[in-house]
Structures are given as structure tokens and as C-alpha cells.
């Protein structure tokens, strides 16, 4: 059985990266899709692990070659999900996690209606600001642009299936795993199986 495609969106600073890393460490049936971006690496980020860091020209060439499952612009930079890895891992039965913002998430929802849509939020906006400032990697101006972005993003929350509140990390990871497990058993995601049963019934 193919794995589940999982979209994880959420405010910048909500802790998506940490959640995803813990999920991968605790369970072995997940794969993380490394995105391509034109933004500069932050301190400690590794090319090919956190992102594939490319120039604008390289990114636009990949768009022309139809190399993305989705892509979008966010705070002045391109971000996109390379195609090959996603399909390869899904075929292997892995649940593939895409850590992407809302515009890209809506493209995925349109193209892959069975994708599981998760939205991660911090327990409060106060905590969000603290986390963004504690990173110490971005100027106050960039932080404010990310907050403005969050105001837009929260209008998309209703288009998601589950909300992950990232307060205590252990709890959030367990809850997220439970969401993924339960999603596999919904009627729409078991469509193929149900159709076989219906066909069998009809043939009697």
C-alpha cells in the first residue's frame, strides 16, 4: 500500500521543523521531502538536508522542466517540492511529509485530494514571538514580515483537516502520529478497497 502524503503548514516559528524531526526519529515509516529554495542558508543549515539551496535561475529552470509537485513564493523567495523523491517514497510505503506554506499546500490539496492536511500552531502568539526572536537568525523586520504572513495564513486554517498545537513537544508528536494513523482509515482514503467490496457485492 502506498504511503500517505502529508502536508504540514503553520506559522513560521510554530516548530514544524522540530516536530517533523522528532516524528522521523520516533517512527520509521516517515520520509521528509527536502525542498528547493532560493533563500540563503541560516546558520547551521546543511545543503541537501534542510534545503537544496539554489539560485533564482536554477529554480526557474526547474520550474520550466516541470520538476516540482508544487512551488510558491514566500517573503521574497521561491520554495518548491521536487517531484521525484515524493513519488519514490510514497511507492515504498513511506508517509511523505511536506513542510510547506499555504499557497503550495492548496496546490497539493487540489492535485492530491487524499493528502492529509495538518496545520501547526503555537500555544499562543506570545510564545510564537519568543521562539522567532530566540532563533536570533532574523532581523526584527523579517520577523514582522513573518507575522504579517501568519495573519494571511490563519485565514486558510479551515481548509486543513487537523490542527496540531505545539506546546509540549512529546504530546504534539504523539498527537500528530495519531492523526496520521486515523487518517489512513477514512472512507475517502479507503475508496479503492470499498469499490472492490461493492463490485463483489454487485456480482452476487
Q: Does 104 bind ligand 5GP (CB under 6 A)?
A: yes
List 3, 15, 80, 122, residue binding ligand 5GP (CB under 6 A): 80
Q: Per CB under 6 A, which of residues 12..31 are in contact with ligand 5GP?
A: 12
* 89 sits near ligand 5GP (criterion: CB under 6 A): no
What's the closest the beta carbon of residue 174 comes to ligand 5GP, in angstroms? 22
> CB under 8 Å to 33, separation ≥6 — which residues?
81, 82, 85, 86, 89, 96, 97, 98, 99
Residue 42 C-alpha cell reads as 541560516
Candidates 59-67, 95-103, 117-125, 191-199 — which segment interacts with ligand 5GP by CB under 6 A? Answer: 95-103
Least distance in Å: CB of 79 to ligand 5GP? 3
Please tell me whether residue 122 binds ligand 5GP under the rule CB under 6 A: no
CB closer to ligand 5GP out of 47 and 195: 47
Q: How far apart are CA 79 and CA 62, in angstroms?
A: 11
Contact flag: residue 39 with ligand 5GP (CB under 6 A): yes
Q: Would you count residue 99 as binding ligand 5GP (CB under 6 A)?
A: yes
59, 101, 118, 180: which one binds ligand 5GP (CB under 6 A): 101
Task: Work out whether 119 is an interface residue with ligand 5GP (CB under 6 A).
Answer: no
172 binds ligand 5GP (CB under 6 A): no
Nearest-10 crossing angle of helices 140-153, 125-135: 140
Neighbours of 4 (CB within 10 A): 21
Q: Does residue 79 belong to the site contacting ligand 5GP (CB under 6 A)?
A: yes
Q: How far is CA 32 from CA 6, 137, 170, 182, 185, in A?
A: 10, 23, 19, 20, 22
In whole angstroms, how far apart are CA 115 and each of 5, 77, 79, 108, 127? 5, 25, 19, 7, 29
Amino acid at each position: 500500500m502506498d504511503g500517505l502524503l502529508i502536508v504540514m503548514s503553520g506559522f513560521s516559528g510554530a516548530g514544524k521543523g522540530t516536530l517533523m524531526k522528532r516524528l522521523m526519529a520516533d517512527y520509521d515509516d516517515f520520509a521528509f521531502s527536502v525542498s528547493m529554495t532560493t533563500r540563503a542558508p541560516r546558520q547551521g543549515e546543511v545543503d541537501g538536508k534542510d534545503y537544496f539551496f539554489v539560485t533564482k535561475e536554477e529554480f526557474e529552470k526547474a520550474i520550466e522542466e516541470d520538476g516540482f509537485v508544487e512551488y510558491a513564493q514566500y517573503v521574497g523567495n521561491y520554495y518548491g517540492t521536487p517531484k521525484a523523491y515524493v513519488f519514490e517514497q510514497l511507492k515504498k510505503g513511506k508517509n511523505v511529509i511536506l513542510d510547506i506554506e499555504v499557497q503550495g499546500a492548496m496546490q497539493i490539496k487540489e492535485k492530491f485530494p487524499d493528502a492529509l492536511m495538518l496545520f501547526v500552531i503555537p500555544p499562543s502568539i506570545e510564545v510564537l514571538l519568543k521562539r522567532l526572536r530566540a532563533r536570533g537568525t532574523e532581523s526584527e523586520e523579517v520577523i514582522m514580515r513573518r507575522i504579517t504572513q501568519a495573519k494571511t495564513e490563519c485565514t486558510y486554517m479551515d481548509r486543513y483537516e487537523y490542527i496540531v498545537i505545539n506546546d509540549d513537544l512529546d504530546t504534539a508528536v504523539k498527537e500528530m502520529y495519531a492523526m496520521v494513523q486515523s487518517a489512513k482509515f477514512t472512507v475517502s482514503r479507503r475508496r479503492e478497497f470499498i469499490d472492490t467490496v461493492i463490485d463483489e457485492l454487485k456480482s452476487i
